[in-house]
Structure 1
Amino acid sequence: MAKSALLVMDVQQDIVGRFDGDPAYLPRLRGAVDAARAAGTPVIHVVVGFRAGHPEVSPRNKAFGRIAGAVAEGAARGFAPGDPGAAIHPDVAPLDGEIVVTKKRVSAFAGSDLDMVLRAQGVDSLVLAGIATSGVVLSTLRQAADLDFRLTVLEDGCLDGDPEVHRVLTGKVFPGQAEVVRIEEWAAGLSPSA
């Protein structure tokens, strides 16, 4: 029998703050989290995080190299220990006992123990949500597909700074490897846990 997990990815304070164009996003996502918990579907939170001093970040990495540079200039803490911006947004914060996986790059699998955690829990199906559609969701979907997970993307559980990019990915690209549904439809198909 298939066992699913909901991945809530990169919904961290500083990241949410960059994508404030949809005030209904967090309440929708909270609805997905609540539905998963009520059905007994594991909720796994994925965050980006680095050690103090960012030794994992190469200056050749265009995206993460900028973060390390800003930290070096004192302009940011850059998702390192003690950075309040690295905290999971309180609207979807993990409950005691929920797994939090820390990644080092864009994909939820990159530099993390996510695959090991999923395999140990017997999870073979993933439901993806997070910020941004063109970042963590796209990268994680591609890698998870290559690892033979069954995939569902919560179209309105993902957010991107470019609505057209979001539309193309969820409407044209993702359906080649995943079922793409809205949160309400996905939640309606869940069975409550006994």
Structure 2
Amino acid sequence: MSAGGEAFLDSHGTYIQPVALTAHTALLVVDMQIHDARPDGAFNVAMERLQPGSMAYFNDRTERVVVPAIGRLLQAWRTRDRPVVHLRLGSQYPDYRDFPPNYRAWIKAIEDASGVREIFYAGSPDFQIRPELAPVDGEWVVDKLTYGAFNSSNLDRVARAAGFTGFVVAGISTNCCVESTVRGAAERGYECVVVDEATADYDESAHLASLRALAVNHARVVRSVDEVLAAVDSGTPM
């Protein structure tokens, strides 16, 4: 986070109540799929064809900061035998017939303009989660059709049945699928912690704006994995 972003969170703080990271707090990993969480993924390739250089900041942050951070969170949750949920965005059909009409028109326009096909098709290899962050036995994988998981998947049903009280949230992109999902979680009574270094957006200003909005209204926002792990091990709410 830039100095400006740190100053905002330090000076404004939050009125969101502290969150205790218990055995009922799931790690929620949002859309770390090949199609848009890796530089050679279909969405990244399409956008670079349309707007050369437009993905440079996002890809650098994802590779250098976000993937290692999520790897650490996954290791921590797994070694402590705590619940992990992976989200995936994609359509069961190559023509996106199960997407809402506006989403379908958006992605088809990108495909037509770039020449890259089946970007978000679940039958494409790029639909899968990056191998280094892939689910292991016993972890939940929830597929969704829109940015916000609570709007287009069975995530709420999964969470209620498993007894989750909240989520530590990581993934991409901050102001889109992460923010939409966190807003949906908060409005359903789940406590949320969003980890700055485990999230990325297509430019820094969008990333910071999303974190600011979430910190004021929906979630605790913390900068580092270290802060999360310290709270887990100490039992101190954050």
Taking the aligned partners of 1:38 and 1:87, their CA distance within structure 2 comes to: 24
TM-score, with length taken from structure 2: 0.73
Alpha-carbon distance, 1:57 to partner: 2.4
- Same amino acid, percent of matched pairs: 32
1:100 to 125, 130, 141: 141
Taking the aligned partners of 2:100 and 2:165, their CA distance within structure 1 comes to: 33
1:112 to 128, 131, 153: 153
In structure 1, the gaps of 5 or more residues are none
If each structure's helix is expressed as a fraction of its own residues, which one has the higher value? 2
Q: Which residue of the partner structure matches residue 80 of structure 1?
A: 121
Q: Does 1:42 align with 2:46?
A: no
Q: Which residue of the partner structure matches residue 175 of structure 1?
A: 215
Q: Which residue of the partner structure matches residue 10 of structure 1?
A: 31
Alpha-carbon distance, 1:41 to partner: 1.8
Alpha-carbon distance, 1:76 to partner: 1.2
Q: Which string of whole-angstrom CA distances, capped at 9 and with x for unpartnered residues, describes residues 35-55 of structure 1?
A: 111222211000002112321
For the residue of structure 1 that corresponds to 2:152, the secondary structure is coil
Q: Which ranges of 4 or more aligned residues in structure 1 deviate by more than 4 Å?
A: 69-74
Taking the aligned partners of 1:105 and 1:136, their CA distance within structure 2 comes to: 8
Judge conservation of contact 2:92–2:123 (CA < 8 Å) in 1. Answer: no
Structure 1 segment 19-58 matched on structure 2, within 5 A: 19-22=58-61, 23-24=63-64, 25-52=66-93, 53-58=95-100
1:149 to 190, 195, 204: 190
- CA change 1:51–1:69 in 2 (3 A) is farther
For the residue of structure 1 that corresponds to 2:60, the secondary structure is coil
Alpha-carbon distance, 1:189 to partner: 2.0
TM-score, with length taken from structure 1: 0.88
Output the amino acid matched with 1:14. Answer: H
Output the amino acid matched with 2:29. Answer: V
Taking the aligned partners of 1:43 and 1:57, their CA distance within structure 2 comes to: 26
Judge conservation of contact 2:97–2:104 (CA < 8 Å) in 1. Answer: no
Alpha-carbon distance, 1:72 to partner: 7.4
Q: Does 1:127 align with 2:168?
A: yes
1:65 to 105, 113, 136: 105
Output the amino acid matched with 1:21. Answer: D
Q: Which string of whole-angstrom CA distances, capped at 9 and with x for unpartnered residues, describes residues 79-128 of structure 1?
A: 22320111101121000221100000000212200000000000011111
May I ask how many residue pairs the two structures share in their alignment? Answer: 189
Q: Which string of whole-angstrom CA distances, capped at 9 and with x for unpartnered residues, describes residues 111-165 of structure 1?
A: 2000000000000111111100010111011111110111110111111011112
Output the amino acid matched with 2:125. Answer: P
